[in-house]
Structure formats: C-alpha cells, structure tokens
C-alpha cells in the first residue's frame, strides 16, 4: 500500500497532455524564502510562472531539457514544449513511466525500452538554490545524458522576447552565471548561446535562451547532478544528493513535530510551502503561483499553518511582527483600503492572536498584544476609511468610495474586490460577525493579561444584541447585507435594502469562537449545507439565486463570488456544524482525493460550483490547506 506522504501517477496520467491528466496536475517545491520550482507532472510548462528556479518573483531557469543517447546511438529527447503554432515538439512526456511526489519532492521516471532514467529535485531550504539529480536506473550499457539549460531572467508576470535586451552569460567553473543573477553548475558543460523562439506557456508566448548543455556518459546507477542558485554566486552549495537527503529529513521532522498521520501528513508538508522567512521574520505566501503576502489571508490560515503543525514559536513571532506592522500603517482613501484584505485583516489578526493564546495559554503574548490590538480596532473604524461604527446599533457599516453615487448602476466595492468575498456597501454579515468576535476576543485577551476595559465590553454587548436581532431573515438564514443601498441590488426598493441572498459568509456567525450566533439555532447552517455544500466546500451563492454563475470567466473577478466554491470555507462550515450539532462524518473525503487532482499534495483556491467541480484559481492555496488541516486535526483525527 502506498504511503500517504507519497503520491504516484502512472503513464495514463503523467504521459498525457489532456487537462484532466498530466497537463492539469501541478507540482511545487519552495525554498522557504518566497522562491520556488514548479510545473506540471508531464513536464510541459503551461504557465509563464512555471520554472525550475524562481528567485522571489523572478523566473530564472525555465527548464532543463534532458536527451538520452541509447547504447544503439539513437538520441531520445525526454522533454516537452508547446510552440506558438500549438504543436507539441518534442513529445518526451510519452516516455514517462511514473511521476511520484515523495515527502513533498518530485521524481520522474522515463522508460525507453529497456532503459530507465530518473530525475529528482529539491530546493535547499533557506537558500535560493535548486538541486537536480539525473540517475540511470537500468540500461544494457552506458547511456549519454545531455541536459540543455533553457534560461531567462524576468518577473514572473511578464515574458521575455529575443527582440529585447539579451541575456548576459559569463563562463565560470562548471557552468555559467546568467545575467549576473544566478549560476548553473554541473559536469561536462558545453556552451551554446542561441534563442529558442515562440515557446508557449499557456496563453503567453516567450523566447528562451539556450545557455548550454551539461553532459555525462553513465551506466546503471550513474548520475548527472546539476545545481542552480542565486545569492552568493561565488560559493558552491552542497552536492545535489546531499541537498535532497537533507530535505527528506526536514520533511520527516515537520511531520514528527505536527504529530499527524495519514493524509494530514501530506497537508503538513503542503502547509510548509507557504511559510517563508523574510527580513522581518516569518510570513505566509497566500498561494502559488503568483500570489503575494496578505495579512487577511495569513491570519485566516494562521491556526492551521502554525498551531496544527507544531510551529508555535514561529507563529508567535509572526503575530508580534504583524501587530507592530499594522500599528504603523496609515490608511488613506487612496491606500490599502481599496483592498478587502485591508478591511478584514485587523479582525482576522485579533482572531489569530486569540486562538494562539487560547490554545497555548500564552498569557505573556496576551499582555503584549491586547492593548495594541485594541488601538488597532479603534483605528480600523475611524479616520477616513470606509468602515465606520453605527452608534445606534454598534455594527460596522461599509460605505462606498468618495464620490460614489449610490443611485448609479453597479457596486464598485463588489466589482473591484479580490478578497475572499466582495465587500458589500451596507452592513455585511461576515464583517460584523468578525467584529463581534474581535470585540469579545479583545476582552478575553485583556482579562488574560490582568486588565479590564469597559469600552470593548460595552461595544461587544451592543453589537452582539444588534446582530442577533437584525441579521436573521424570514427565510431562516441570515441576511448577507443589511441596510444596503437599493442601487446595488436589482430587486431593491426604498431607502435601504436587506439582501437575503443565500451565501456561506453567514457561517462565520456560528463558526467563530465568539461568533454572534453561538448558542442560537442553526437554521442558517442547515440551509447552507442543503443549498451550498459541494464535495470541495460551499458555493458562494445558492444555485437558485439571481445571478448564480458556477465558474469565473477569465478577467471577471466578481464572478468568483457568484457561485464558485471557495475551498477554505469548508473550515467555517465544519465549525458551524460542530457548534450546532450537525454531523461531520465524511466531510473531507473528496478533499483528501483532491490532493491528487490539481496541485499535487495540496488544495486549490477555488472550484466550479457545478459538478464535477473542476478545480480553479491557484492550485496551491494557503487558506485552503490550512483550513482542511485544521478541520482534520480538530474533528476528524
């Protein structure tokens, strides 16, 4: 029986370029600094972010193209490229026998008759460095291994063409330094120096510089080892087999530290990919490829990434750093308020600190952060930002940008957001559930620190009472927004409109530890389960609601909130079920299977709202991995 920390595909998957096979399954390894290597199990690059060495946000080594010379003298290319014309040339994927993700590290095996060749790779944790080993597993005699280095140097969201500035290549011992940015090292280096034009990577086309080729003749058990690294270019990293062995040992330590077993072990290794070390301490990348470091995402994922993996000390360091950073930020109408991340981030930060203190008993952290967090909340609802407290009921109101005319068609906050849901003008249910939770958490943190403050306690009492009286809708669930402008809703009328659209964001009112609906009947939770739940998580809108759209058309971010599944919301759903006595058996079965479907060994950001719930968004999502791991550890271990 295969280990749960080992995922293997045979030739029907890794040897196929259909989207539901090798083309649509991606792998990822990271360096712990924000850099990564990633691609598809077939070896075909389908995104411009795919590479074997990305240094922070710069793509360096696009690919290492392996050609094997058989004992007969025949040359067989084992790499695969798609060209601007749509042609696939060469078709090295057809020789793939297996792809294996073993303790988080990828390994490919190709078979050409009685010759079997393997590639495995790792990144050296804490260094922008790649280690690759090519190994002859079996052969009737020596074979030639030739590995062409296909290079570029560009930001991950751009392309580079031969018509632009050329790549500078400086010969050094065992290879070259490319553009003064990174170094390649290996045996038998043979310089080349020519452009390969019109290589397709999904919707984009780029040109790649063939810097040269590494070569070695090897019999069974023989290897060709290549290193690629940035940073200290004059220093040679440890040999690739040493790096790979060290990364396997590190993976073993992470699993041991987390005290997990089964599929949770795979999730622990997936969680590690998102945790990075910066000059300011630990941080979290929201998703790969292409997403940055956002406080709201980080704090939503905090409990699963740090507390459920045994990384408590790193987590504590992160919470202190983020609280200090948030206290220094200034918010203006033209600043980060325009992102939903800036709206809910302080509320999620308070929640993360509260969970840390509750689970670890860290009274010293409560004493250190309670007062700064209280000041942060007061700042959150003051000044010129769009969130303000309604003195009549103590709830938070979200206003439109300055100069916005509520009688004009559309809702700029809804259309312009790229957060987990679109903030809605009025009093959104999730913002106010987070607000009530944060006020109660501040009270608990102050009490843990030996202090008391009447102001947050009074605010919590008022907001709690107002929420439970104002948000329940006649349909049996909670309003999505109360007191919203009618122009934002096609069926609205009157001075204000309460939007009864059935969405999953109301789940936070039951799921948060101090949620305003804790102890209240779970009719909304039942409704969400019946109308929204899919195998991969809740839809963002019920199928019968106005405007339901099961998938997001390219370039239309608003549609992310009109029906597609956000997989991380399985966490709030599970918590809400546990709080209201609803069953959880089998809840994560499809998500366990999903570990092999898109981002191999990880969980995707989103999925289609309709069956078969095709995975979408980034294939490696921090919040999704963290929430699935947290639910598994808390309820299903």
In the numeric block, the tokens 């039951």 are attached to: 510
Rounded distance, CA 338 to CA 331, Å?
Answer: 10
Confidence of residue 551 (pLDDT cuts 50, 70, 90): confident
Q: What pLDDT, on the 0 to 100 scale, is given for residue 337?
A: 33
The CATH architecture of the domain made up of 6-13+28-245 is Distorted Sandwich (2.70)
Q: Is the pLDDT of residue 334 over 70?
A: no
Task: For the chain, give the percent of residues with pLDDT over 70.
Answer: 90
For 425-484, the pLDDT digits (tens) are 899 999 999 999 999 999 999 998 888 788 889 999 999 999 999 999 999 999 999 998
What's the confidence (pLDDT) of residue 528?
96
pLDDT score at 338: 35
The answer to which of 327-336, 414-423, 547-556 has the lowest mean pLDDT is 414-423
Asked if 317 and 284 count as a contact pair (C-beta separation under 8 A), the reply is no
Please give the pLDDT value at position 598: 97
Q: Rounded to whole angstroms, what are the CA distances from 341 to 50, 219, 404, 414, 624?
A: 27, 55, 21, 13, 16
- Residues ≥6 apart with Cβ < 8 Å to 551: 559, 563, 564, 608, 609, 610, 614, 616
Q: Which class would CATH give 259-635?
A: mainly alpha
**Confidence at residue 377, expressed as pLDDT on a 0 to 100 scale:** 87
- Return the pLDDT at 253: 96
pLDDT at residue 411 in the model: 37
Instruction: Quote the Cα angle for 121-122-126, to 5°.
Output: 160
**pLDDT higher than 50, residue 419:** no
Tell me what the mean pLDDT of segment 300-321 comes to: 97
pLDDT at 375 over 50: yes
Which residues does residue 129 pair with via DSSP β-bridges, in sequence order? 229
- The rounded mean pLDDT for the chain is 90
Which SS3 state, helix, strand or coil, does residue 307 take?
helix
> What is the distance between the alpha carbons of residues 132 and 126, in angstroms, rounded to a whole number?
17
How big is the chain by its Cα radius of gyration, in Å? 26
What pLDDT score does 559 carry?
Answer: 63
DSSP 446-461: HHHTT---HHHHHHHH
Name the more confident of 123 and 424.
123
Residue 295 confidence (pLDDT) above 80 = yes
Q: What are the pLDDT digits (tens) for 364-374?
A: 999 999 999 99
Collapsed DSSP state (helix, strand, coil) of residue 255: helix
Among 438, 441, 436, 422, residue whose Cα is nearest residue 471: 436
As given in the structure block, the two tokens for residue 340 are 């939903």
Higher pLDDT, 418 or 153: 153
Residue boundaries of the structural domains of the chain: 6-13+28-245, 259-635
- Give the pLDDT band of residue 336 (cuts 50, 70, 90): very low
**Partners of 118 in the beta sheet?**
109, 135
pLDDT at residue 406, rounded to an integer:
42
Residue 401 has pLDDT above 70, yes or no: no
> Over the range 286-296, which residues count as b (16 or more CB within 10 Å of their CB) and which as e?
bbbbebeebbb
Asked if pLDDT for residue 491 goes beyond 70, the answer is no
Predicted local confidence at residue 404, as pLDDT: 44
Q: Which of 74-88, 364-378, 476-490, 537-551 has the highest mean pLDDT?
A: 74-88
pLDDT at 325: 87
Q: What CA–CA distance (Å, rounded) separates 506 from 480? A: 7
Q: Using pLDDT thresholds of 50, 70 and 90, give the confidence band for residue 561.
A: confident
pLDDT, mean of residues 45-68 = 97
Lowest mean pLDDT among 76-90, 345-359, 535-549, 555-569: 555-569
Distance CA 500, CA 480 (A): 6
| pLDDT at position 553 | 64
What mean pLDDT is predicted for residues 368-395? 85
Mean pLDDT of 293-305: 95
């Amino acid at each position: 029986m295969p280990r749960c920390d080992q995922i293997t595909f045979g030739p029907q998957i890794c040897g196929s370029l259909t989207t539901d096979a090798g083309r649509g399954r991606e792998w990822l390894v990271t360096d712990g600094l924000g850099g990564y290597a990633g691609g598809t199990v077939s070896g075909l690059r389908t995104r411009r972010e795919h590479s074997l060495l990305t240094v922070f946000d710069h793509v360096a080594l696009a690919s290492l193209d392996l050609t094997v010379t058989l004992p007969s003298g025949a040359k067989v290319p084992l790499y695969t490229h798609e060209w601007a014309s749509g042609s696939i040339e060469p078709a090295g994927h057809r020789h793939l026998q297996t792809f294996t993700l073993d303790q988080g590290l990828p390994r490919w095996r190709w078979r050409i008759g009685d010759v079997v060749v393997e590639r495995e790779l790792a990144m050296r944790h804490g260094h922008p460095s790649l280690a690759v080993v090519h190994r002859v597993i079996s052969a009737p005699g020596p074979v030639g291994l030739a590995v062409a280095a296909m290079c570029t140097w560009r930001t991950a969201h751009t392309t580079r063409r031969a018509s632009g500035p050329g790549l500078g290549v400086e010969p050094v011992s065992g290879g070259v330094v490319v553009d003064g940015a990174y170094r390649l090292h290996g045996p038998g280096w043979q310089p080349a120096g020519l452009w390969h034009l019109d290589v397709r990577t999904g919707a984009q086309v780029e040109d790649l510089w063939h810097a040269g080729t590494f070569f070695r003749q090897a019999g069974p058990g023989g290897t060709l080892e290549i290193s690629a690294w940035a940073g200290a270019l004059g220093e040679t990293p440890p040999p690739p087999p040493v790096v790979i062995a060290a990364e396997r040992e590190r993976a073993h330590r992470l699993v041991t530290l987390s005290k997990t077993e089964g599929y949770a072990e795979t999730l622990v290794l997936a969680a590690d990919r998102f945790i990075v070390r910066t000059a300011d301490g630990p941080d979290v990348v929201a998703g790969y490829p292409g997403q940055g470091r956002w406080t709201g995402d980080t704090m939503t994922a905090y409990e699963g990434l740090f507390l459920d993996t045994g990384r408590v000390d790193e987590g504590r360091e992160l919470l202190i750093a983020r609280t200090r950073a948030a206290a220094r930020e200034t918010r203006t109408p033209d600043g980060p308020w325009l992102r939903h991340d800036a709206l809910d981030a302080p509320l999620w930060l308070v929640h993360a600190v509260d969970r840390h203190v509750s689970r670890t008993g860290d009274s010293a952290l409560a004493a250190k952060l309670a007062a700064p967090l209280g000041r942060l909340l007061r700042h959150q609802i003051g000044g010129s930002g769009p969130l303000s407290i309604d003195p009549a009921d103590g709830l938070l109101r979200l206003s439109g940008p300055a100069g916005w005319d509520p009688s004009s068609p559309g809702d700029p906050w809804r259309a312009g957001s790229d957060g987990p849901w679109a903030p809605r003008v009025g009093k959104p249910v999730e913002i106010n559930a987070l607000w009530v939770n944060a006020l109660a958490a501040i009270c608990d943190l102050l009490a843990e620190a030996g202090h008391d403050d009447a102001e947050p306690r009074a605010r919590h009492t008022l907001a709690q009472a107002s929420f439970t009286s104002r948000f329940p809708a006649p349909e049996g669930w909670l309003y999505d927004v109360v007191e919203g402008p009618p122009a934002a809703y096609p069926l609205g009328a009157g001075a204000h409109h309460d939007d009864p659209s059935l969405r999953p964001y109301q789940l936070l009112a039951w799921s948060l530890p101090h949620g305003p609906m804790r102890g209240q009947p779970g009719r909304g939770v039942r409704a969400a389960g019946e109308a929204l739940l899919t195998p991969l998580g809740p839809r963002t809108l019920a199928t019968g609601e106005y405007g339901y759209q099961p998938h997001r058309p390219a370039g239309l971010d608003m549609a992310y909130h009109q029906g597609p599944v956000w997989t991380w919301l399985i966490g709030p759903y599970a918590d809400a079920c546990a709080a209201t006595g609803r069953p959880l058996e089998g809840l994560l079965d499809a998500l366990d299977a999903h570990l092999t479907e898109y981002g191999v060994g990880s969980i995707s950001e989103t999925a289609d709202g309709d069956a078969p719930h095709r995975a979408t968004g980034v294939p490696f999502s921090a919040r999704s991995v963290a929430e699935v791991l947290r639910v598994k550890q808390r309820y299903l271990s």
